Amino acid sequence: MNTESIIKLFILFGTLYLFMKCLNNQENFDVKKFNLKKPGQLTFLNTEGVGYYIVSLEQFKPKHQTKIIAHMTKNMPELVNPKFNVNSFNPMPMFLVRSIDLEEYASSDVSNFYIINFEDKFAFVPKISNKPTPDEYVSIEKKYGMLCYSPTYIKERMLIINKNDDLQPNSIKPLQIDDLKLYVFDMTGSKNIKHFIKQ
């Protein structure tokens, strides 16, 4: 057998291996490596290596909260009740913030979530100001691609990781609010981010 035939054989086996790997629908999300009683940090990384954290409205610094509420009042009026203070929003809006902007925009202790086994999938309950928010699951406001959490969640809109370690949606886009560089999910975009959970 000559060198060219050996190389072709390796390529054939490599292609066959990758094909079988794609067909194999095994469980990749190993919940056993996580402590479900301990919060974890959920972060995202895009193809350029930029990291993103999830920050809820009440975690933004007050000067930024004002800009976000003004933007939402004008552009997302059905999500804002100006009679409530920022801590009473329901659903509570959440945005993606680049890691390089985090210190400027928000308080510390963001992106901390409890992983909850929910109907054979894994959902997220935020930990805000060192307190869990029981039964207030993170979900996606599909019209705006914005994350939020609320006790009145809709199962089909929940942010979940399935047993194949896929998170839906998996693409983001910028949301310019005044001089703030925030991000939301792109409900129609192609995959451009990976998720990570660190405890």
The confidence band for 7, taking pLDDT boundaries of 50, 70 and 90, is low
**Nearest of 42, 46, 77 to residue 56 by alpha carbon:** 42
**pLDDT per residue as tens digits for the range 146-161:** 999 888 878 888 888 8
Q: Centre a 10 Å sphere on the Cβ of residue 62 and count the other Cβ atoms it contains.
A: 7
Q: Bigger pLDDT: 134 or 193?
A: 193
**Nearest of 176, 169, 175 to residue 193 by alpha carbon:** 169
- Quote the distance between the C-alpha of residue 181 and its chain's center: 17
- Map tokens 């997302």 to a residue: 76
Q: Does residue 18 carry a pLDDT above 50? A: no
> Strand 146-150 relative to strand 137-141: parallel, antiparallel, unpaired?
antiparallel
Q: Nearest 5 degrees, angle CA 42-CA 45-CA 47?
A: 160
Give the pLDDT confidence score for residue 196 in this predicted structure.
85
Burial class (CB in 10 A: 0-12, 13-18, 19+), 181: middle
Domains of the chain: 29-198 (2.80.10)
Give the pLDDT confidence score for residue 109 in this predicted structure.
67
**pLDDT per residue as tens digits for the range 140-196:** 988 888 999 888 878 888 888 877 777 777 788 999 899 999 999 887 877 778 888
Q: Does residue 25 carry a pLDDT above 60? A: no
Give the pLDDT confidence score for residue 19 in this predicted structure.
45
**pLDDT per residue as tens digits for the range 73-126:** 999 888 887 677 777 788 889 999 999 999 999 976 677 888 888 777 888 888
**pLDDT per residue as tens digits for the range 37-86:** 888 888 899 888 899 999 999 899 999 999 999 999 999 888 887 677 77
**Nearest of 43, 34, 54, 47 to residue 184 by alpha carbon:** 54
The dihedral formed by the CA atoms of 98, 101, 105 and 108, expressed in degrees to the nearest 10? 80
Give the pLDDT confidence score for residue 184 in this predicted structure.
92
